[in-house]
Chain A
Amino acid sequence: MTEVERHNYDVVVIGAGGAGLRAAIEARQRGLTTAVICKSLFGKAHTVMAEGGCAASMGNVNSNDSWQVHFRDTMRGGKFLNNWRMAELHAKEAPDRVWELETYGALFDRTEDGRISQRNFGGHTYPRLAHVGDRTGLELIRTMQQKIVSLQQEDKAEFGDYEAKLKVFQECTITELLKDDSGAISGAFGYWRESGRFVLFETGAVIMATGGIGKSFQVTSNSWEYTGDGHALAARTGASLINMEFVQFHPTGMVWPPSVKGILVTEGVRGDGGVLKNSEGKRFMFDYVPDVFKGQYAETEEEADRWYTDPDNNRRTPDLLPRDEVARAINTEVKEGRGSPHGGVYLDIASRMPDEEIKRRLPSMYHQFKELADVDITAEPMEVGPTCHYVMGGIEVDPDTGESTVPGLFAAGECSGGMHGSNRLGGNSLSDLLVFGRRAGLGAANYVESLERKPVVLQSDIDAAARSAVSPFEPAEGEGARENPYTLQHELQQTMNDLVGIIRTADEIERALGRLAEIRSRVRNVVVEGHRQFNPGWHLAIDLRNMMVVSEAVAKAALLRTESRGGHTRDDFPMLDSDWRNRLLSCRVSGEDQVVPDVVVEPKEQVPMRQDLLELFELSELEKYYTEAELTTHPAAQGDTA
Chain B
Amino acid sequence: MSYKGQFRVWRGDSDGGSLEDFEVEVNEGEVVLDIIHRLQATQAPDLAVRWNCKAGKCGSCSAEVNGRPQLLCMTRMSLFDKDEVITVTPMRAFSVVRDLVTDVSYNYEKAREVQAFTPPEKLQPGEYRMQQEDVQRSQEFRKCIECFLCQDTCHVVRDHEENKLEFSGPRFLMRIAELEMHPLDAADRRDTAQDDHGLGYCNITKCCTEVCPENIKITDNALIPMKERVAGRRYDPVVWLGNKLFKRGK
Chain A contacts to B: CB under 8 angstroms = 40-44, 46, 48-49, 95-96, 99-100, 102-105, 107-110, 113-115, 117, 132-133, 135, 138-139, 142, 146-147, 149-150, 152-153, 162, 194, 223-225, 256-260, 263-264, 363-364, 367-368, 371-373, 484-487, 490, 528-531, 533-538
The residue of chain B having its C-beta at the shortest distance from the C-beta of A257 within the complex is B29
List residues 138-189 of chain B with CB under 8 A from any CB of chain A: 138-139, 142-146, 179, 182, 185
A153 near B46 with CB under 8 A, answer no
B117 near A132 with CB under 8 A, answer no
The contact sample of 15 A-B pairs, CB cut-off 8 A, is A102-B125, A104-B117, A107-B138, A138-B143, A138-B145, A194-B101, A223-B52, A224-B51, A257-B28, A372-B31, A487-B41, A528-B46, A530-B45, A536-B46, A536-B47
Please tell me if B191 contacts chain A, counting CB pairs below 8 Å. no
A486 near B41 with CB under 8 A, answer yes
Interchain CB contact (< 8 A) of B34 among A150, A152, A259, A367: A259
The residue of chain A having its C-beta at the shortest distance from the C-beta of B34 within the complex is A259
The residue of chain B having its C-beta at the shortest distance from the C-beta of A133 within the complex is B139
6 tightest A-B CB contacts, nearest first: A257-B29, A105-B117, A530-B46, A150-B116, A114-B129, A537-B45
One of B107-115, B201-209, B217-225, B240-248 at the interface: B107-115
List residues 19-62 of chain B with CB under 8 A from any CB of chain A: 27-31, 34, 40-41, 45-60
A110 near B116 with CB under 8 A, answer no
CB distance from A16 to the nearest CB of B (A): 12
Chain A residues with Cβ below 8 Å from B142 are 107, 132, 138-139, 142
CB distance from A365 to the nearest CB of B (A): 11
Please tell me if B82 contacts chain A, counting CB pairs below 8 Å. no
B108 near A105 with CB under 8 A, answer no
The distance in angstroms between the C-alpha atoms of A95 and B126, with both chains bound, is 9
Interchain CB contact (< 8 A) of A43 among B54, B97, B126, B146: B146
The distance in angstroms between the C-alpha atoms of A432 and B7, with both chains bound, is 44
B97 near A41 with CB under 8 A, answer no
The residue of chain A having its C-beta at the shortest distance from the C-beta of B138 within the complex is A107
Chain B residues with Cβ below 8 Å from A194 are 97-98, 101
The distance in angstroms between the C-alpha atoms of A293 and B43, with both chains bound, is 52
Interchain CB contact (< 8 A) of A486 among B45, B54, B129: B45
| Additional A-B contacts beyond A146-B117, A223-B53, A484-B41 (6; CB < 8 A) | A40-B52, A40-B58, A149-B112, A533-B97, A536-B46, A536-B47
B53 near A105 with CB under 8 A, answer no
Chain A residues with Cβ below 8 Å from B238 are none
B53 near A110 with CB under 8 A, answer no
B132 near A537 with CB under 8 A, answer no
Q: How many CB-defined contacts (below 8 Å) exist between A and B?
A: 171
- 1/0 per residue B86-106: CB within 8 Å of A? 000000000001110100100
The residue of chain B having its C-beta at the shortest distance from the C-beta of A533 within the complex is B98
Contact status of A132 and B116, CB under 8 A, knowing A49-B57, A368-B55: no
The distance in angstroms between the C-alpha atoms of A263 and B57, with both chains bound, is 11
B57 near A258 with CB under 8 A, answer no
Please tell me if B232 contacts chain A, counting CB pairs below 8 Å. no
B74 near A371 with CB under 8 A, answer yes
Interchain CB contact (< 8 A) of A107 among B29, B40, B119, B135: B135
Interchain CB contact (< 8 A) of B132 among A109, A152, A225, A490: A109
A146 near B116 with CB under 8 A, answer yes
B60 near A44 with CB under 8 A, answer yes
B139 near A529 with CB under 8 A, answer no
Contact status of A537 and B57, CB under 8 A, knowing A99-B125, A114-B129: no
A103 near B125 with CB under 8 A, answer yes
CB distance from A376 to the nearest CB of B (A): 15
Interchain CB contact (< 8 A) of B55 among A49, A149, A537, A538: A49
The residue of chain A having its C-beta at the shortest distance from the C-beta of B127 within the complex is A99
Chain A residues with Cβ below 8 Å from B13 are 533
The distance in angstroms between the C-alpha atoms of A378 and B127, with both chains bound, is 37
CB distance from A367 to the nearest CB of B (A): 7
B129 near A44 with CB under 8 A, answer no
B125 near A100 with CB under 8 A, answer yes
Chain B residues with Cβ below 8 Å from A531 are 46
Chain B residues with Cβ below 8 Å from A115 are 129
A368 near B132 with CB under 8 A, answer no
CB distance from B162 to the nearest CB of A (A): 24
The distance in angstroms between the C-alpha atoms of A536 and B40, with both chains bound, is 8
The distance in angstroms between the C-alpha atoms of A225 and B185, with both chains bound, is 35
The distance in angstroms between the C-alpha atoms of A132 and B56, with both chains bound, is 17
The residue of chain B having its C-beta at the shortest distance from the C-beta of A258 within the complex is B29
Interchain CB contact (< 8 A) of B46 among A43, A113, A490, A529: A529
Chain A residues with Cβ below 8 Å from B55 are 49, 260, 263-264, 368, 372
B131 near A114 with CB under 8 A, answer yes
Contact status of A534 and B29, CB under 8 A, knowing A99-B125, A107-B138, A114-B131: no
A260 near B115 with CB under 8 A, answer no
The distance in angstroms between the C-alpha atoms of A149 and B111, with both chains bound, is 8
The residue of chain A having its C-beta at the shortest distance from the C-beta of B126 within the complex is A99
Contact status of A113 and B129, CB under 8 A, knowing A107-B139, A263-B54, A371-B76: yes
B29 near A260 with CB under 8 A, answer yes
Chain A residues with Cβ below 8 Å from B179 are 105
Chain A residues with Cβ below 8 Å from B49 are 536
The distance in angstroms between the C-alpha atoms of A624 and B28, with both chains bound, is 48
List residues 72-91 of chain B with CB under 8 A from any CB of chain A: 74, 76
The distance in angstroms between the C-alpha atoms of A104 and B185, with both chains bound, is 10
- 1/0 per residue B220-236: CB within 8 Å of A? 00000000000000000
B29 near A96 with CB under 8 A, answer no
